[in-house]
Amino acid sequence: MSMEQISAVLDFFKIELPSWGFADTGTRFGKFLQDAAAVTVDEKMADAGHVHKLTGSCPTVAVHVLWDFPSGRTAAEISALAAAAGIKIGSINPNVFQDQQYRWGSLCNRDPAVRQAAISHIKDSVKIGRETGSGLLSLWLADGLNYPGQADIIARKKWLADALKTVHGMLPPEMTMLVEYKPFEPAFYATDIADWGMALLLAKAAGPRAKVLVDTGHHYQATNIEQIVAWLLDENMLGGFHFNDRKYADDDLTIGSIDPYQIFRIFHEIHNHHFRTGSLPRIAYMVDQSHNLKPKIEAMIQTVDMAQQLYIKAAIVDRKKLAAAQAAEDVVASENLLRDAYLTDVRPLLAEWRKSRQLPADPLAAHRDSGYEKRIAAQRRAAHGQKGGGAYA
């Protein structure tokens, strides 16, 4: 590929940052606090804007309705915060798992009043999306069962399908609903949307503006995620990604930290779809990681950099040669065409693109040189009190 073609690919590839990724996070056992972690929505927007300024590829930030729209703050105010940071509000994420009323589920709860409460919250979230100019409603449910016999699986399926149809009917024409799946956690016997097939059926039943969201960590160990991606693309049902990496289960590690070749193979299927159809699919690429030990902003920059590298590597696969090798049943040549692209050092190309867009060639180094993290750590200690230190204490 020419540098002009690579630049066009990188210009097209945008990655949405999650507001919650800049806040203190942890495991079910506790948190390791960082002084530079964002506490308020103002701080989250500032940090996301800082990452976008350095990378040029993160123009939107995903927001969580209960966490990012505190009482007394309007959607217009939160949008203004984002605009002041040089970004926009991206996907809207309702919270139908935190309140005590959702102990037995939200949209799958046997109590119609609880189901209606969940729908009402999602309706409010759609309204926020309309007011902020968001085009995405991202739904993840914690609904499920922990023990056999606990509830009627099919009854819950029907309640869920009816609720999603209702939600779809609330969407403005410009908004897409993303349906996410997860095989387990917090439900360990039967999660109500446990895999991509369930999400696909529910999305198709809900309506034409519903698509499937694939979280790369939400799969069992041996799952071929790129095959799922290829199938969803072919069905025009792939709406978005939550990117992270894992060693065992839903570890929420930094993208590419464990298996970068897997993300490369996923991107390969996306570029292959482009080659086959002539159209690069519109996919919402989002980050969903838990940076418990790494400094939040550094982990985000690392993530964006790795995603861009892997996206370029997948783009430079010689697909005409690959098609010819596949037609000849030349397995070795076919595999090597992918390997050669994956093993190509694309960092000089990425640096050249950044310089041409007046961006730092090495955004992580630029961030460290800027002193931003040390400065905000001091500011946030003064504002919120000493939390626990960290890399920039």
How many whole angstroms separate alpha carbon 122 and alpha carbon 183?
Answer: 23
Closest CA to 102 of 89, 88, 91, 117: 117
**Best-predicted range by mean pLDDT (122-136, 280-294, 375-389):** 122-136
> Which residues touch 359 (CB under 8 Å, ≥6 apart)?
54, 55, 56
Q: How far is CA 128 from CA 78, 123, 167, 323, 391, in A?
A: 10, 9, 14, 46, 36
* Distance in angstroms (rounded) separating the CA atoms of residues 78 and 71: 12
At residue 365's C-alpha, the angle toward residues 364 and 371, to 5°, is: 95
Q: How far is CA 193 from CA 158, 161, 190, 200, in A?
A: 12, 11, 9, 10
pLDDT at residue number 392 = 47
Residue 389 has pLDDT above 60, yes or no: no
- Is 387 a residue whose pLDDT tops 80? no
| 329 SS3 class | coil
165 contacts 207 by C-beta, under 8 angstroms:
yes
pLDDT at residue 372, rounded to an integer: 98
pTM of the model: 0.95
CATH of domain 3-384: 3.20.20.150
| Banded pLDDT at 390 (limits 50, 70, 90) | low
CA terminus-to-terminus distance, the chain? 45
Q: What is the pLDDT of residue 388?
A: 64
